[in-house]
Structure 1
Amino acid sequence: MAKPNRPSNVPTQTFSLYEINDLDRDSPPFLPFSVLNVNSKQNKGKGFLGWLKNLRSTLSGAHVHGIGDLVPFSNKLYDGSLTLRLGITAGLTMVIRNYPGKGSAQDKTHPFFFPDRYETMYTFYLGDLGHISVQGPFITFEDTLLTVTGGAGLFREARGVCRLHNLSPFKLFYTFQLKGIPEIPRHLTAKVVEPSVDVKPIQEAANCEPGYVLPHYSD
Structure 2
Amino acid sequence: MATSLVSTTPLVRASSTTIQELYVYKINERDRGSPTYLRLGHKPVNSFGDLVPFTNKVYSADLQTRLGITAGICILIKNMPEKKGYRYKAIYSFHLGDYGQISVQGAYIATEDTYLSITGGKGIFTGAFGKVKLQQLVFPFKLFYTFYLQALAADLPAELLVTPFPPSPVVEPSPAAKATEFGATAPNYTD
For residue 106 of structure 2, give the secondary structure of its aligned residue in structure 1: strand
Deviation at 1:156, TM superposition (A): 0.6
Which residue does 1:189 correspond to in 2?
A: 161
Tell me which of 90, 98, 103 is aligned to 1:133. 103
- RMSD over aligned CA atoms reads 1.4
Count matched residues: 176
> Counterpart of 1:208 in 2: which secondary structure?
coil
Query: TM-score, normalized by length of structure 2?
Result: 0.88
Taking only the aligned residue pairs, the percentage that are identical comes to: 45
Question: Residue by residue, what CA displacement relative to the aligned partner does 1:102-156 show, whole Å, maximum 9, x if unpaired?
Answer: 43xxxxxxxxxxx100000000001100000000011111111110111101011
* TM-score normalized with structure 1 length: 0.77
1:53 equivalent in structure 2: none
Residue in structure 2 matched with residue 146 of structure 1 by the alignment: 116
The separation in 2 between residues aligned to 1:24 and 1:158, in whole angstroms, is 31
Counterpart of 1:122 in structure 2 is: 92
The yes-or-no answer on 1:76 pairing with 2:47 is no
Matched, 1:14 2:21: yes
CA distance in 1, matches of 2:108, 2:121: 20
In structure 1, list runs of 5 or more residues that go unmatched: 1-6, 43-63, 104-114
Looking at structure 2, the residues matched to 9 and 98 of structure 1 have their Cα atoms a distance apart, in angstroms, of: 37
TM-aligned CA distance change 1:78 to 1:8, over 3 Å: closer
Write 1 or 2 for the structure with the bigger share of strand: 2
Q: Which runs of 5+ in 2 are unaligned?
A: 1-13
Which residue, out of 148, 151, 158, partners 1:177?
Answer: 148
1:174: how far off?
0.4
Task: Tell me the SS of whatever aligns to 2:67.
Answer: strand
CA drift at 1:10: 3.4
The answer to whether the 8 Å contact 2:128/2:150 transfers is yes
- Aligned partners of 2:56 and 2:69 also within 8 Å: yes
Distance 1:159 1:9 in 2: 9
Q: Which amino acid aligns with 2:20?
A: Q
Matches within 5 A, 1:28-107: 28-34=35-41, 38=42, 40=43, 42=44, 64-103=45-84
Structure with more helix by fraction: 1
Give structure 1 regions of 4+ aligned residues with deviation exceeding 2 angstroms: 7-10
Tell me, in whole angstroms, the C-alpha distance in 1 between the residues paired with 2:142 and 2:107: 17
Is the partner of 2:81 in helix, strand or coil? coil
